[in-house]
Amino acid sequence: MKQLNFILQSKGGVGKSFLVWLLANQYKDNEAVIFIDLDNSTQTSNARLAGLVGQHRVSHYSILDENKKIEREEFLNMLQVFSQAEPNKIYVDFGAPESEEFLKFLRYEFSADTLKEASDMLGVTITFSVVIAGNDTVSACLNYSQALTTLAQDYFTVNWFYNVGLSGGIDSRETTKSTLENLITTNALKTQLIPFGDLGFSQSAKDIVKMLADGSTADTLPFASKLKFNQVMKEFQTSSSHV
């Protein structure tokens, strides 16, 4: 069955595109995996991934109408197009505005059980991957993540990807992780917490971030940075192998 993975978070700058970039590195040699950028404002994934996986595996798609709302027929048309695509796995990067509208769409226009019915009819499975960062973004991230999970968890798999790299020092990172784990337990949320993005604080981390920003590949990294990047990817592949 074809797999769709929606990568979401209404708070901008928390690492959605970074997560997509890591996934692209993980599947860079797998032609059965493609990437869709729904972000109308920046198209960050579209710009960064073409040089990594090839332009033929990266596309932009718009789901917002002229009023910046998700239109039901256009959304269903998108799902149908994806279901008929040749690749077996599709990662869909929602921008912050698209993520916000998607939550409203599920809440008021197109319930999760109806989305499940539609996906079953099309022969696709949908997974929600919600990105969360720490520091001053954690409250907004959690408000969105909890709301979306509550709506979707009875019908779809929901994963919380915790961006460790945007969560301050070691103590702050552990505090945020503990907060997330307690929230999941206290509210009986059906989600798995998956840490990612721990690049550390060395020059290698700076080199990897620059590689991401430039849209280049690991071949351009200095030797020490390449070793660090390989370590990061091994850890990421282990934690996200089921996603």
Tell me the backbone φ, ψ of residue 187, rounded to 5 degrees.
-100, 10
For residues 197-218, average pLDDT = 90
What pLDDT, in 10s, does the model give residues 143-196? 999 999 999 999 999 999 999 987 778 778 888 999 999 999 999 999 999 999
pLDDT at 242 over 90: no
Closest CA to 93 of 24, 17, 158: 17
Radius of gyration of the chain (CA): 17
- In this prediction, residue 44 carries a pLDDT of 66
The DSSP symbol for 157 reads E
Using an 8 Å Cβ cutoff, are 40 and 98 in contact? yes
For residue 122, what are its two tokens? 């099309």
In this predicted structure, what is the pLDDT of residue 43?
A: 61
* Per-residue pLDDT tens digits for 25-60: 999 999 999 999 998 776 667 778 988 999 999 999
**What is the SS3 assignment for 192?**
strand
Residue 129 β-bridge partners: 7, 159
User: Given CA atoms 62, 126, 102, 8 in this order, what sign does their dihedral have?
Assistant: negative
CA distance 103 to 10: 9
Mean confidence (pLDDT) of the chain: 92
Could you read off the pLDDT of 73-112 as tens digits, one per residue?
999 999 999 999 999 999 999 999 999 999 999 999 999 9
